[in-house]
Amino acid sequence: MRQIIKRWAFILLSTTIMVFFSEKMYWYTQGYAYAELVLFYMPGTYIFLLAVSYFRVRGFWAMFLAASLYPLYVEGALTGIIVADITGIMFFYFIGWHTTVSVIFGWYFQHKLLVQQRIRALALSSAAMGFLLGIWATVFWIPENVNDPELIAEGHVLGQWPIADYALLLLYLGVIYTGSHYLLGRFWDDEFRPSRLENVLVILYVLFLVSLQLITYTVLGVTFVVLCILILISLRRYSGERKTVLSELGGGIRFADSLVLFLLPVFAVIGYATIAAIRPRDSVIKGYGDLIIFVQLSYGVVLFLYSVYKVLRTDVTPDDSP
């Protein structure tokens, strides 16, 4: 029972970190809602961790490929966006966002810096990412987003927020993010070996959601299916007897070091306040918002295809180094 509690605490805390980037730092207009988002996203985290464990993922590119399953669940099985897009463009965009920013940067890279006590790199990466995300969040100031009927129906508080209100929200999010990383060090699972029952229940739930999306979008879902098969075949080719990437991230984290993560929400507020002080035209805000999306889409394509290439060319050895 203790191992089960530790394992699900590991999943919960990992998901909380990923949701911080996948939802809260961009969709700040949602306000303080957090717990329900974590619950919705947890199966995606589970599938990613299961792939890491089952295929014995250790190298960076194999981990990136396993992390590509996360947006396939979130924006495919859960929301249907990827399933409905036969072109695959939305998949590559979410690779640039969910996989790269949420899993690789937020969950892997920043936690690795904490474990290795590389505080300068942690501070610089937190400040840079926070400033960028604070600027990106300002796209909700432009009329086309302020008047978005879908967002209004979902209860979003759209438009430019007073700096004090935004800062208070970021303080709340920062406490969650910092605390999650610190606690994750306490509950880290070096192996992640859930029971057969846990695997069956989660996989059946995911397949149920996928089937609903495929029934809805029928032939449009062919790209989604192909992507899933491509990732799983590539990881199967890579699998071998080795330690996983989870083993290199284990170990306790000093509480004082985890506080450095607060630079991320602090610099997000600075970025948000900077745009508020400059107050560029709406066309400028839309322009850099579109540019960020284009950049994410571009490197999403490159990183995903390169990860498939690297994984398929990997020589399987008993102790494949990262």
Residue numbers of the domain that contains 37? 2-312
The reply to whether 318 falls in a domain is: no
The answer to whether residue 322 sits within a structural domain is: no
**Residue 319 domain flag:** no
Q: Is 215 exposed, middle or buried (0-12, 13-18, 19+ CB in 10 A)?
A: exposed
C-alpha 185/C-alpha 110 separation (Å) is: 12
Domain-located, residue 198:
yes
Q: Is the pLDDT of residue 240 over 80?
A: no
Domain assignment present for residue 317? The answer is: no
- Calpha distance 71→41 (Å, rounded): 10
Query: Which band of pLDDT confidence, cut at 50, 70 and 90, is reported for residue 101?
Result: very high
Q: What is the rounded (10 degree) CA torsion for 64, 70, 75, 80?
A: 120
Mean pLDDT, residues 158-162 taken together:
93
Does 217 map to a domain?
yes
**Do the domain assignments include residue 287?**
yes
Nearest CA to 54 out of 260, 240, 186, 182 is that of 240
CA-wise closest residue to 41 among 63, 26, 20, 19? 19
User: pTM for the full model?
Assistant: 0.93
For 2-19, the pLDDT digits (tens) are: 888 999 999 999 999 999
| Paired tokens of 229 | 């098969």
Torsion over CA: 121, 10, 297, 236 (sign): positive
Residues whose CB is less than 8 angstroms from the CB of residue 297 and which lie 6 or more positions away in sequence, other chains included: 89, 92, 93, 96
Report the domain count for the chain: 1
For the cut 90, the answer to whether the pLDDT of residue 72 exceeds it is yes
* Residue 152 belongs to some domain of the structure: yes
